[in-house]
Structure 1
């Protein structure tokens, strides 16, 4: 019985990875840079859900530049006390990631 339960748990975990299947080059980049370790598309993990970020900055013409800088330099205080450390991405990668996040609905 324990083996059946363990197999079901493993299958469930493998299935949950499908939510992060690489659908776009930007999502592939997010996976390769480890972004999805702390963020998810539609739910809070350690950091906010990407859809929440997109909703918060909708209509903000300066959001892409501000957020790309935060991705590279890190930041804290906007989404709570947990800081986001600086990420090892190029300016172009940061811009690609932020554009992808801001494009979510």
Structure 2
């Protein structure tokens, strides 16, 4: 009887890590996709004070985020480029007011913000 229970455990074991990996992927990917394409990107932008200088639709201290999306939408590496600019800061691209570096963001957050911005075009 002991052999049967061990055999059952051995056949069930390889599927368990696969099921766990699938569950973790879904748990991580679904919120990320929602944040990139939905209100999560806006919420992160508000939380990280991006909206202190930017608006989605109008120029304020910085350019409108729709204008940023329109300018870079056709660029092949737009998401990577914008994520870098978000983290490192920029000057002279949109006028005389420099954008400070956002050192409080991790690379994933910067990438998420860049992806969300590009959906605004």
Quickly name the TM-score band, shorter chain normalised. 0.7 to 0.9
List per-residue Cα deviations over 1:8-41 (Å, max 9, x = no partner): xxxxxxxxxxxxxxx6111110110000000000
| TM-score, length of structure 2 as denominator length | 0.66
Computed over aligned residues only, the root mean square deviation of the Cα atoms, in angstroms, reads 1.0
Q: CA deviation at 1:82?
A: 0.8
Q: Give 5+ residue unaligned stretches, structure 1.
A: 1-22
Q: Distance in 2 between matches of 1:80 and 1:62?
A: 22
1:80-99 aligned at under 5 Å gives the runs 80-87=95-102, 88-99=104-115
Structure 2 equivalent of residue 42 of structure 1: 57
Structure 2 gap segments, 5+ residues each: 1-37
Count of residue correspondences: 83
Q: How does 1:15-54 map to 2 (within 5 A)?
A: 24-54=39-69
Moved over 3 A (4+): none
Structure with higher helix content: 2
State the distance in 2 between where 1:71 and 1:40 align: 15
Point out the more displaced range, 54-63 or 28-37: 54-63
Give 1:62 shift. Answer: 1.2
Match of 1:75 in 2: 90
Name the TM-score, length of structure 1 as normaliser.
Answer: 0.76
